[in-house]
Amino acid sequence: MGQIKFLDTYVLCEIFQGNEKYFSYIEDDFVVIDVILAEFYWVILREYNEATARYWLSKLRLNSLPCSLELMQKGMAYRKKIKRNLSFFDAVGYTFAQENNMLFVTGDKEFQSLPGVEFVSK
């Protein structure tokens, strides 16, 4: 078994939109944190409807882990330190993945050269 992968919102959106390049990630062991799942829920709710957002929430919920206030603080400290254009969610997710020895999977160019990242281009 390989390293557990942490999927960011970018990857979840690509899967939702039917990008086959990302489908294998939900077939393997993966994790999301609840704040990433909340952001993904918002994206679907905003772009589609509540029923679709709820469906995806229920589909991914079993792979979701809680996110502590301490982790969010660490994520914000990292965001300030790295001086890249990272969102709150990205910084917290990356920090979680790093602290738990997970591979952070994304297509976000801000992460392309960072350690512990599996970058997937569109």
DSSP 8-state class, residue 83: T
Query: What is the total count of domains within the chain?
Result: 1
| Token pair recorded at residue 75 | 């994520």
In a domain, 88, yes or no: yes
pTM of the complete model? 0.92
The enclosing H or E element of 119 equals strand 117-119
In a domain, 122, yes or no: no
Average pLDDT value over all residues in the chain: 94
Q: Is 13 exposed, middle or buried (0-12, 13-18, 19+ CB in 10 A)?
A: middle
Flag whether 57 is in a domain: yes
- The domain spanning residue 77 has which CATH number? 3.40.50.1010
Q: Is residue 93 part of a domain?
A: yes
Copy the structure tokens of residue 106: 């994304």
Is 55 part of a structural domain of the chain? yes
**Domain that includes residue 92, residue range:** 5-117
The pLDDT value given to residue 84? 84
Specify which residues 6 forms β-bridges with.
Answer: 31, 104
Q: For strands 103-106 and 64-65, give the pairing.
A: unpaired
